[in-house]
Amino acid sequence: MLNLHGKVAFVAGAGSVAEGWGNGRATAVLMARQGAKVFGVDYSAEALSGTTAAMEQEAGADWTGWLANMTSTEEVERAVAECLSRYGRIDILVNNVGGSAPGTPVSMSVDEWDGQLDRNLKTAFLGCKHVLPVMERQFAAEGRGGAIVNVSSIASMSFQVDGRVHVAYAASKAGLETLSRATAIAYVKKGIRVNSVVVGMMHTPLVAHRLTQQLGTANAEDLAAKRNALIPMGRMGDAWDVANAVVFLASDEAGYITATQLVVDGGVTAARPGNVDSDAR
């Protein structure tokens, strides 16, 4: 079940901002556990070194860490070329780079808006731009192309109740899901599947780090308790909940699934549509 042996996974955003398990780190490790060779990219050497340390604890893990800024087409192109040099193919692409910043169209600066679209949307566009031709060649030669999974957010379909509006984050994540669907249909005849994991409120190092700063609170436990109370399941998810969903959509077991969104949110959007705190990373 979910056997990834013989597959090469290119995971963008494979580090974590602090000790512990971010979405990208958990996804990279879980893919290695399932037998994939994992080429993990991050812009932070410190974040990437933590994933390397985690991989060293995994018996038999085949892992390469690579520093690159996924907003730069030249750096993405070099990273893809290095992955091909080392492993000869790319079967799975995970676009996991992202992050949010609060602001309305008036309060948010133009630079903040541009940065959010670059981080959350352009990175996935560039990942697809440089990996899709690889998968297309594989399909022409072997009859198997690949799978792309983009990590999105319930911010794409909702807003916050506490006044912390995130217009650029919401817009970029909605764009990411549209990019996923359009790309899926464009490449459906070429053996390439494209799907999104739409993530709800998660207890990850990045979220804890960012929210305590944004809200000016030092009490992370109180913040976590308030967020847990908003969720029908009574708790936030964690990076492994995201990783499990990503690995499923990347696997052959999801071979008949494309152009869709898998919501991983503990029931938030069903119970409180349009009325949730949607920080999802």
269, HSE (Cβ side, Cα atoms, 13 Å): 18
Judge whether 68 and 35 are in contact, CB under 8 Å: no
Q: Tell me, what's the pLDDT at 224?
A: 73
Q: Tell me, what's the pLDDT at 161?
A: 41
- Summarize pLDDT for 149-195 with one digit per residue, the tens: 999 999 998 655 445 789 999 999 999 999 999 999 999 999 999 99
pTM of the model: 0.91
CA–CA separation, 186 and 116 (whole Å) = 26
pLDDT at 214 over 60: no
Rounded mean pLDDT of the chain?
90
Alpha-carbon torsion 62, 73, 96, 146, what sign? negative
The DSSP bridge pattern shows strands 261-264 and 62-67 to be unpaired
- Summarize pLDDT for 10-43 with one digit per residue, the tens: 999 999 876 789 999 999 999 999 999 999 999 9
Q: Tell me, what's the pLDDT at 55?
A: 97
pLDDT category at 217 given cuts 50, 70, 90 is: low
pLDDT category at 280 given cuts 50, 70, 90 is: very low
Q: Tell me, what's the pLDDT at 20?
A: 85
pLDDT at 144 over 70: yes
Closest CA to 131 of 94, 90, 96, 97: 90
Tokens of 94: 């995970």
Residue among 43, 87, 169, 187 flagged as catalytic:
169
pLDDT at 130 over 50: yes
pLDDT at 206 over 80: no
Q: Tell me, what's the pLDDT at 218?
A: 56
Q: Tell me, what's the pLDDT at 160?
A: 57
Alpha helices (H) along the chain: 23-33, 45-56, 73-87, 110-117, 123-142, 167-186, 205-215, 220-229, 239-250, 268-271
Q: Tell me, what's the pLDDT at 178?
A: 98
Ranking 54-68, 80-94, 206-220, 221-235 by mean pLDDT, the lowest is 206-220
> Which structural domains are found in the chain, ordered by start?
8-200+240-264 (3.40.50.720)
Q: How many CB atoms lie within 10 A of CB 24?
A: 33
Active site residue 43: no
